[in-house]
Amino acid sequence: MSWTFDHLAFNTAHGQSLQDSFAQLLGLKPGRRPPFPFPGRWLYQDEHAVVHVIERPLPDDTELSHIAFRTDEPAETVLQRVRDSGLPFQLAQVPGDGIAQIFVQMPGGLVIELDALEAPHPNPPETSDRPKGEGTDRGV
């Protein structure tokens, strides 16, 4: 199974200033974002959204939400591998894009998002020992 880096996602109450900083330092530009049910923005390098900003009130500074990887493997194959790992996970789907998102809680608290085509059927959404603080806003 082969994986490619997809994006970093940040939770912040300062979406515009974070966007401005990424634009100034790295030349990233805002672009298309699927209609998730929470505010945010995607920042692009060329045709790839490498930074996802999740806008939410936070008591502290901006925090890393997750690191995402993508594969061409079928989502069911990826999901079985995650189940076999025994790690806690949560399923979601990118609205309108047919991409399965599998959020896995790694040891030490890091969350990784595994993206695959042909989403598994998350009706009802499947979870395995949902990590503390995990919500559906992980999927940006």
Q: What is the pLDDT along the chain (140 residues), one digit of tens a residue?
A: 899 999 999 999 989 999 999 999 899 999 999 999 999 999 999 999 999 999 988 767 888 899 999 999 999 999 999 999 999 999 999 988 889 999 999 988 899 999 998 744 555 455 565 443 334 444 44
Distances 134 to 16, 81, 118 between C-alpha atoms, Å: 24, 21, 23
Of residues 59, 19, 60, the one with CA closest to residue 39: 19
Partner residues linked to 31 by β-bridges: 42
- Boundaries of every domain in the chain: 4-55, 65-139
The CATH homologous superfamily for domain 65-139 is: 2,3-Dihydroxybiphenyl 1,2-Dioxygenase, domain 1 (3.10.180.10)
Look at residue 97 in the predicted model and tell me its pLDDT.
84
Look at residue 134 in the predicted model and tell me its pLDDT.
38
Q: What is the pTM of this model?
A: 0.76
